[in-house]
């Protein structure tokens, strides 16, 4: 079913933000380079200088940015139906993610999100965990021990193998390298800063990768629909919309493509930053390993990976607090509204920060310190406001894969730490440079040594 574009998407963006305090930065590029270099530092500096609502200019867009959990609530819950995710994200990722959930609004979004319901139900998640554990354990066996390895590319590859199996079903294995290559090009293109479809540019290569993946997925829909597969793609193919019809080939393809992207780099970032923090904080790693060592199973279940290992849960939360893979949300107003006492016109880009909220000293004790126990029952710093700790966003577009990400993160950590201690390959690494764009990771790709223990 083709849905007509809402008219507000084609309206010209409002660029006059002179009523909002802040700075537009340099001509044309605005503050893009500062944002790429250290978006958290820049956002917190603006917050301190101008208050919780300020204007900024990024990649040719003028944006009203906001800091504070109340703004995250206003923008993500969007009770007044003012904020369009489609008009917000489309300029940045539109060509890559046309038709995906993130570029759908309101009623149409709700109808499209239904396509994913079965694949993310608890019983489906229970089913995926066995495959995940098996792939994690097989990869761990192959990773080098007692000698340096680059963790970031290794975990990226591991998560691609998991995505192939759990999202698409096993067929991918036959053509793994070609499809993996297309996926890497696709993800790089989608997050490239220079959005020009010119030969030689990442954007151009990315669109070609998209085409390869698109064909791969589309050709398998009918077969998946007839089968009884339990991978996510099979669930999508069998799902029906409000009128009782299957979703179209186009809709399924668009959703699978976005899902592969949304799941992969975010979780890779979270696991990489977790390893960096655990290598840096050996005392915490020892406590966590002791707890994990007491679990008497080689194949952890979904329930074991849930909240039942509190120290593992606090680690997950603290990693995502310090380094949220998605640092903020972006929307565009479809009608005039009020934000923090300012009248904001229709068609204005509005951002709301997740990463700055995770570092506000008015809520967090020593916000830059790695301190997983802040999430313990007795301290529960995150419970001061429902939208304070929000790495998965909130409201209608809240991450549909949050339980999957939680389970995947914990499966990798549990399997790895049960039998290994993690150390930096070089003691100077702890203060190494971190890249924030497109997703947070250490610039040196995190050289680690896995020491076999137990
Ligand atoms: C640590 C890992 C992850 C983080 C931090 C994360 C974060 C987010 C955030 C903040 C949003 C909301 C974006 C917005 O409102 O503009 C989002 C949406 C989404 N995420 Fe995740 N995500 C993660 C992993 C995953 C995984 C594993 C999947 C799938 C298996 C997934 C699928 C999606 C989808 C489909 C959406 C769009 C939902 C919608 O628009 O209705 N994500 N994610």
Smallest Cα–Cα separation from 8: which of 399, 334, 434?
334
| Percent of residues, the chain, with pLDDT higher than 90 | 70
Instruction: Give the integer Cα–Cα distance in Å for 352 and 69.
Output: 9
Residues 6+ apart with CB under 8 A from 383: none
| Between residues 381 and 114, the one the model is more confident about | 381
pLDDT-derived band at 411, boundaries 50, 70, 90 = very high
Are 189 and 210 within 8 A, CB to CB? Answer: yes
**Rounded average pLDDT over 332-342:** 97
**Measured distance CA(67)–CA(49) in Å, rounded:** 12
Q: Whose CA is nearest to atom 19 of ligand 1?
A: 399
Contacts of 333 (CB under 8 A, 6+ apart): 82, 83, 84, 344, 345, 346, 347, 348, 350
Under the banding of pLDDT at 50, 70 and 90, the label for residue 25 is confident
- Longest Cα–Cα distance in the chain: 62
Euclidean distance between CA atoms 149 and 141, whole angstroms: 13
The model's pTM is: 0.95
- Decide which of 299 and 168 is more confident: 168
CB 332 within 8 A of CB 349: yes
113 lines ligand 1 (CB under 6 A): yes
**In terms of Cα–Cα distance, which of 445, 319, 335, 333 is closest to 371?**
319
The DSSP string of 104-131 is: --HHHHHHHHGGGTGGGSHHHHHHHHHH
Judge if the beta carbon of residue 259 lies within 6 A of ligand 1.
yes
Ligand 1 closest atom vs CA 391 = 5
The answer, yes or no, to whether any atom of ligand 1 lies below 6 A from the CB of 401, is: yes
Contacts of 378 (CB under 8 A, 6+ apart): none
Confidence of residue 165 (pLDDT cuts 50, 70, 90): confident
Which range (83-92, 128-137, 300-309) has the least confidence? Answer: 300-309
Q: Are 432 and 444 in contact (CB under 8 A)?
A: yes
> Which of 70-79, 90-99, 235-244 is modeled with the greatest confidence?
70-79
**Which pLDDT belongs to residue 181?**
86
Q: 116-120, 286-290, 335-339: which range is least confident on average?
A: 116-120
266 C-beta closer than 6 A to ligand 1: yes
The rounded mean pLDDT for the chain is 91
142, β-bridge pairs: none
Query: In angstroms, what is the span from residue 450 Cα to ligand 1's centroid?
Result: 30
Exposed / middle / buried, residue 307 (Cβ in 10 Å: 0-12, 13-18, 19+): exposed
- Residues linked to residue 350 through DSSP beta bridges, in sequence order: 64, 331
Highest mean pLDDT among 54-63, 190-199, 358-367: 358-367
CA distance 61 to 378: 43
CA 395 / ligand 1 centre spacing (Å): 12
User: pLDDT at position 61, please?
Assistant: 86
Ligand 1 centroid to residue 212 C-alpha, Å: 23
Element (H, E) at 54: strand 53-58
CA 243 to ligand 1 centroid distance, Å: 27
Coil, helix or strand for 144? coil
pLDDT for 273: 97
CA distance 200 to 185: 12
Is it the case that residue 383 has pLDDT exceeding 90?
A: yes
Instruction: Please state the atom number of ligand 1 nearest to the C-alpha of residue 395.
Output: 15
Cis peptide before 282 (omega within 30 of 0): no
What's the confidence (pLDDT) of residue 192? Answer: 83
Count CB atoms within 10 A of the CB of residue 424: 19
Evaluate: CB of 271 within 6 angstroms of ligand 1: no
pLDDT-derived band at 151 (thresholds 50, 70, 90) equals very high
Q: Is 400 in the pocket of ligand 1 (CB under 6 A)?
A: yes
Atom of ligand 1 nearest to the CA of 405: 27
In tens, the pLDDT along 226-276 reads: 999 999 999 999 999 889 999 999 999 999 999 999 999 999 999 999 999
Q: Residue 16 has what pLDDT? A: 92
* Contact indicator for 52, 66 with CB cutoff of 8 Å: yes
| Residue 404 CB less than 6 A away from ligand 1 | yes
pLDDT top residue among 408 and 439: 408
Per-residue pLDDT band at 172 (split at 50, 70, 90)? low
* Distance from Cα 452 to the centre of ligand 1, integer Å: 34
pLDDT at 373: 98
Does 405 sit in the ligand 1 pocket, CB within 6 Å? yes
Distance CA 38, CA 53 (A): 19
pLDDT recorded at residue 34: 82
- How many angstroms separate the CA atoms of 401 and 116, rounded? 10
DSSP H or E stretch at residue 84: strand 83-84
Residue from 87, 93, 262 to probe ligand 1 pocket by mutation (most atoms less than 8 Å from CB): 262
Q: What is the pLDDT of residues 283-334, one digit of tens each?
A: 999 999 999 998 887 777 777 776 689 999 999 999 999 999 999 999 999 9
Task: Read off the pLDDT band of 175 (50, 70, 90).
Answer: low
Q: Which helix (H) or strand (E) holds 332?
A: strand 328-333
Residue 241 · residue 115 · CB < 8 Å: yes
Predicted confidence (pLDDT) at residue 368 exceeds the cutoff of 90: yes
For 127-137, what is the mean pLDDT? 91
Mean pLDDT computed over 91-101: 85
Centre of ligand 1 to C-alpha 320, Å, is 13
pLDDT of 88 above 80: yes
What is the predicted pLDDT for the residue at 302? 75
Res. 418: pLDDT tops 70: yes
Q: Which atom of ligand 1 is nearest to the CA of 408?
A: 27
pLDDT category at 171 given cuts 50, 70, 90 is low
Neighbours of 284 (CB within 10 A): 19
Q: CA-based Rg of the chain, rounded to a whole angstrom? A: 22
The reply to whether ligand 1 has any atom less than 6 angstroms from the CB of 276 is: no
392 lines ligand 1 (CB under 6 A): yes
Mutate to test the pocket of ligand 1, among 401, 408, 439 (most ligand atoms within 8 A of CB): 401
Distance between Cα 443 and ligand 1 center (Å):
24
102 lines ligand 1 (CB under 6 A): yes
Cβ–ligand 1 distance for 101 under 6 Å, the answer yes
* Closest C-alpha to ligand 1, atom 31: 401
Tell me if 317 sits within 8 A of 382, measured CB to CB: yes
pLDDT band at 453 (very low <50, low <70, confident <90, very high): confident
Map out the domains of the chain with their CATH numbers.
7-149+268-452 (1.10.630.10)
């Amino acid at each position: 079913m083709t849905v007509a574009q809402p008219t507000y998407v084609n309206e010209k963006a409002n660029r006059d933000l002179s009523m909002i305090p802040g700075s537009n930065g340099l001509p044309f590029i605005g503050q893009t380079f500062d944002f790429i270099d250290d978006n958290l530092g820049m956002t917190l500096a603006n917050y301190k200088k101008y208050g919780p609502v300020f204007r900024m200019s990024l990649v040719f867009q003028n944006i009203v940015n906001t800091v504070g959990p109340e703004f995250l609530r206003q923008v993500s819950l969007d009770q007044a139906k003012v904020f369009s995710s489609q008009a917000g994200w489309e300029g940045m990722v539109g060509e890559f993610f046309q038709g995906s959930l993130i570029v759908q609004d309101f009623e149409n979004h709700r109808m499209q999100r239904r396509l994913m319901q079965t694949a993310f139900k608890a019983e489906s998640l229970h089913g995926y965990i066995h495959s995940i554990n098996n792939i994690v354990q097989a990869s761990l066996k192959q990773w080098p021990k007692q000698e340096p390895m680059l963790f970031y590319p290794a975990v990226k590859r591991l998560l691609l193998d998991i995505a192939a199996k759990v999202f698409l079903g096993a067929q991918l294995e036959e053509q793994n390298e070609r499809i993996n290559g297309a996926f890497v090009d696709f993800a790089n293109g989608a997050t490239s800063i220079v959005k020009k479809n010119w030969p030689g540019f990442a954007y151009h290569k990315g669109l070609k990768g998209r085409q390869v993946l698109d064909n791969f997925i589309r050709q398998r829909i009918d077969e998946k629909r007839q089968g009884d597969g339990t991978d996510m793609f099979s669930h999508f193919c069998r799902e029906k919309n409000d009128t009782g019809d299957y979703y179209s080939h186009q809709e399924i393809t668009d959703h699978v493509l976005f899902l592969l992207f949304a799941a992969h780099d975010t979780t890779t970032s979270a696991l990489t930053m977790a390893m960096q923090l655990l290598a840096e904080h050996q005392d915490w790693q020892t406590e966590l390993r002791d707890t994990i060592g007491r679990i008497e199973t080689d194949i952890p279940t979904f329930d074991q990976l849930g909240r039942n290992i509190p120290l593992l849960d606090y680690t997950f939360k603290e990693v995502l607090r310090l380094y949220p893979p998605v640092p903020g949300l972006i929307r565009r107003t479809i009608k005039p509204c009020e934000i923090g006492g300012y009248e904001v016109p229709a068609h204005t880009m509005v951002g709301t920060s997740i990463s700055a909220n995770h570092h506000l000293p008015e809520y967090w004790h020593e916000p830059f310190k790695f301190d997983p126990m802040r999430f313990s029952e007795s301290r529960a710093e995150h419970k001061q406001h429902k939208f304070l700790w929000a790495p998965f966003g909130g409201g209608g577009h809240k991450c549909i894969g949050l339980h999957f990400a939680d389970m995947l993160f914990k499966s990798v950590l549990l399997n790895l730490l049960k039998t290994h201690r993690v150390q930096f390959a070089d003691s100077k690494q702890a203060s190494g440079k971190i890249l924030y764009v497109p997703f947070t990771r250490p610039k040196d790709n995190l050289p680690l040594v896995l020491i076999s223990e137990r």
